[in-house]
Amino acid sequence: MSELKVFQQRIAAAQADRRLVTAVKSATLSKVVAREVALGELHDATALRQSAAAIKQHLLDHLPEYLEQFVTQVRARGGVVHFAPDAAAACRIIGDLAATRGAKLAVKAKSMTSEEVHLNAALTERGVEVVETDLGEFIVQIAHDRPSHIVTPIIHKDRRQVATTMAQVLGCPYTEDPGELTKIARAHLRDIFRRCDLGITGVNFAVAETGSICLLTNEGNGRMTTTRPRVHIALVGIEKLVPRLADLPVFLKLIARSTTGQAMGIYTTLISGPRQAGERDGPEELHVVLLDNGRSDIWAGAFREVLRCIRCGACLNACPVFRNVGGHAYHSVYPGPIGSLVTPLLSHLREGTGLPRASSLCGACQVACPVMIDIPKYLVQLRAAAPGVQPLAKRLGLRGWRAVVSQPALYRAAQWMLRRVVRGRWRDWLARGPLAAWGQRRELPTPAPRTFTEIWDAQLGGQRGGRP
């Protein structure tokens, strides 16, 4: 079965699940409203977004220099830098670090980059138990599920499902009270934090100027993960850099507003190296694993701007397609509009080539994006780059259309014919036969009895000397 067919089946299945659609719609719409309100509180949100876009674009245009600076600064502060050209290398490096330190229990703060490289499975194979500490990710993990949103991993679940999972897996009393559920998860995770050997995080931003890494969380689990274990490993996509510490506030003002509508994330953690002499907390070792995994090829090509993404998730919330099918229908670590770009690009067009078609090109994603990525433009470009996913009939139809519209006489003849077919007794046959699937959710429009050009010719053409 073709990839497109499989994708269409997943979409149909998601749309048939009314509980899923209701949960995703309600959560995304409330985030869209919260984002609007939060950005409205800024003096000039557009100017701030322009600054963020310019900083990220400048960073990308000088990426090799900034990477070098970042590496030098991390080392100067006592951190160790590793380079991972691909997912397998990242898993191997982190697995080796765990093995050489005898680590058996790792805690992990939410990290889409670690999802991208399938780190949990790789570490489990090497005998390391990995426990997710972000509440949403924790629930995904104990439910043996997958995240369906890059920021809100359980957006597809309602309160009842979360309560049922926690009662079944943790053996706690059934409750749907979010406060109670959070307390239960906290008590469970505290014990794990006490016993863990290794802390693994992604990063939200990495500062080239100082070699610092910046983590944003709402639950404080990022701080526990980076301070309690002896060893902290940060997995960093090479595009996560910002040039200077002074650039951070621009992004900090935007990211939480774009994500959840908060003015700031609850915990902003800035880490510059491992624990130093005289410091009371922090890990003994800090390892930064710089991940490429297809990014440098994106960087070198026509889609560089896509790497500006700060993974805020606003484009997912704004997207009418995501809202109606949820994240699992994309069958990709990165769903939604940005996932429809990143998935095929990171895989050199080997995976997710049908995803750029999961868009009406309404532009809501671009309007929501804090770093102003022209997502619709790149979706269209990717559609052209992977034409093989277009059904043959559609490709032939488009070629026929091009031939007809490029010849006025043929075009007029086609218009005449179409009017007679669609307005005449063939209309019912068309609606029930060749256009049946298309017509499931649409009305077949009736063409006007005369075209605009015919009306123009009849009424004004003679007086004004020709057609428009």
Only segment of 18-26, 140-148, 312-320, 397-405 that touches ligand SF4 (CB under 6 A):
312-320
Q: How far is the CB of 27 from ligand SF4 (least distance, A)?
A: 16
Length of the chain: 468
Torsion of CA 46, 48, 50, 53, to 10 degrees: -130
Q: Restricting to residues 367-396, which ones interact with ligand SF4 according to CB under 6 A?
A: 368-371, 373
Pick from 27, 67, 207, 338: which binds ligand SF4 (CB under 6 A)? 338
d(CA 435, CA 433): 6
Pick from 189, 309, 355, 382: which binds ligand SF4 (CB under 6 A)? 309
Only segment of 238-246, 311-319, 419-427, 449-457 that touches ligand SF4 (CB under 6 A):
311-319
CB 106 within 8 A of CB 126: no
The token pair that represents 357 in the structure block = 């078609």
List phi, psi (to 5°) of 105: -130, 120
344 binds ligand SF4 (CB under 6 A): no
Query: Please, what sign has the CA dihedral across residues 203, 200, 304, 84?
Result: positive
Q: How far is the CB of 55 from ligand SF4 (least distance, A)?
A: 13
Only segment of 20-28, 29-37, 364-372, 424-432 that touches ligand SF4 (CB under 6 A):
364-372
Q: How far is the CB of 315 from ligand SF4 (least distance, A)?
A: 3
Residue 107's H or E segment, with its range, is strand 105-108
Query: Please, what sign has the CA dihedral across residues 122, 189, 153, 202?
Result: negative
Q: Is 130 left (phi over 0), alpha (psi -120 to 50) or beta?
A: beta
Size of the site for ligand SF4 (CB under 6 A): 13
Nearer to ligand SF4, 123 or 345 (CB): 345
Pick from 243, 313, 326, 356: which binds ligand SF4 (CB under 6 A)? 313
d(CA 236, CA 289): 6
Q: How far is the CB of 220 from ligand SF4 (least distance, A)?
A: 23
Pick from 312, 345, 346, 382: which binds ligand SF4 (CB under 6 A)? 312
Q: How far is the CB of 334 from ligand SF4 (least distance, A)?
A: 9
Nearer to ligand SF4, 193 or 378 (CB): 378
Q: Restricting to residues 314-333, which ones interact with ligand SF4 according to CB under 6 A?
A: 314-315
373-409 as b/e, with b when 16 or more CB fall inside 10 Å?
bebbebbeebbebbeebbeeeeeeeeeeeeeeeeeee
Only segment of 29-37, 270-278, 289-297, 303-311 that touches ligand SF4 (CB under 6 A):
303-311
Q: How far is the CB of 56 from ligand SF4 (least distance, A)?
A: 9
Q: Which residues contact 448 (CB under 8 A, 6 or more apart)?
A: none
Nearer to ligand SF4, 106 or 314 (CB): 314
311 binds ligand SF4 (CB under 6 A): yes
The token pair that represents 291 in the structure block = 């991940």
Scan for tokens 């670690």, then name that residue: 114
Task: Judge residue 326's burial from the number of C-beta atoms within 10 Å of its C-beta, 0-12 exposed, 13-18 middle, 19 or more buried.
Answer: buried
Nearer to ligand SF4, 243 or 273 (CB): 243
Mode of pairing for the β-strands spanning 231-237 and 105-108: unpaired
Q: How far is the CB of 257 from ligand SF4 (least distance, A)?
A: 11
Only segment of 4-12, 119-127, 308-316, 388-396 that touches ligand SF4 (CB under 6 A):
308-316
Nearer to ligand SF4, 189 or 203 (CB): 203
d(CA 164, CA 145): 14
Q: How far is the CB of 375 from ligand SF4 (least distance, A)?
A: 6
List phi, psi (to 5°) of 464: -100, 5
Alpha helices by DSSP H, 62-177: 63-76, 87-100, 112-116, 119-125, 135-142, 159-170
Nearer to ligand SF4, 63 or 314 (CB): 314
Q: How far is the CB of 336 from ligand SF4 (least distance, A)?
A: 7
Only segment of 98-106, 163-171, 309-317, 457-465 that touches ligand SF4 (CB under 6 A):
309-317
Nearer to ligand SF4, 94 or 325 (CB): 325
- CA 448 vs CA 405, 419, 443, 455: distances in Å: 19, 8, 15, 11
Q: Restricting to residues 166-205, which ones interact with ligand SF4 according to CB under 6 A?
A: none
List phi, psi (to 5°) of 263: -65, -40
Alpha helices by DSSP H, 155-210: 159-170, 178-195
Nearer to ligand SF4, 95 or 352 (CB): 352
Q: How far is the CB of 372 from ligand SF4 (least distance, A)?
A: 8
d(CA 338, CA 310): 10
342 binds ligand SF4 (CB under 6 A): no
The site for ligand SF4 (CB under 6 A) is made up of 309-315, 338, 368-371, 373
